[in-house]
Amino acid sequence: MLRLVDRARSGDQAAFEALVRATYADTYTLAYRLTGDEEDARDVVQETYLRAFRGLKRFRGDAQFSTWLYRITANCASTHLGRRARHRHDELVDDAPLADERREIDPEDRAENVALRDRLRLAIDELPPRLRAVVVLRDIYDLPHGAIAQELGISETAAKVRLHRARRRLREELYPSRDPDADDGADAEDVRSRAV
């Protein structure tokens, strides 16, 4: 991918198009997880690639191209969600359960998993954008705190604090009877496994 980036930085439009094709699925997935809406995610992705195209010559290569693109995506999603909050509208919710074809599961377990996944998705969608971004990048994309801080342009301490607050809110929403001071580790695993 490094060669494509170098060619694209030199003005090779075909190389940039190849970079878009190579990164589109991951970029869209991140945008969707940050916004919680397909249309918003498409808008964020479009803005992300527009900003990436305009800023490609300033890309120094200190981080991987995908990491740089994650940061742009997170920033675009944050900006988009801020605009959307000012112009709220009623959302149509897709009630179709997600199929998990990777393994055979007891129908009762499947129903419980789908219900928990839906509750988790709603709980993540209800988080403020700054908390949602941190929990998505850490618990779904498994980025370390330092990378999250770099992606969002905040300190590592701020990333840890936001993650703690996000996990606490999710825990309170999903497990209201649990001890609020319980360890976050189990919940992080739950977020990763359910949100995929």
Residue 185 pLDDT: 54
Return the pLDDT at 36: 84
Domains of the chain: which residue ranges? 2-86, 107-195
2-86 placed in CATH 1.10.3720.10: no
In this prediction, residue 86 carries a pLDDT of 57
* 158 phi, psi to nearest 5 deg: -65, -40
What's the pLDDT score for residue 177? 76
pLDDT at 186: 52
Q: For residue 39, how many other CB atoms are within 10 A of its CB?
A: 9
Virtual torsion, Cα 62, 67, 72, 73, nearest 10 deg: 180
pLDDT score for 196: 47
pLDDT value at position 47?
A: 93
pLDDT of residue 17: 92
Structure tokens at 147: 């990378």
Q: What is the pLDDT of residue 187?
A: 55
Which residues of the chain are modeled with pLDDT < 70?
84-105, 178-196
CATH dotted code for 107-195 = 1.10.10.10
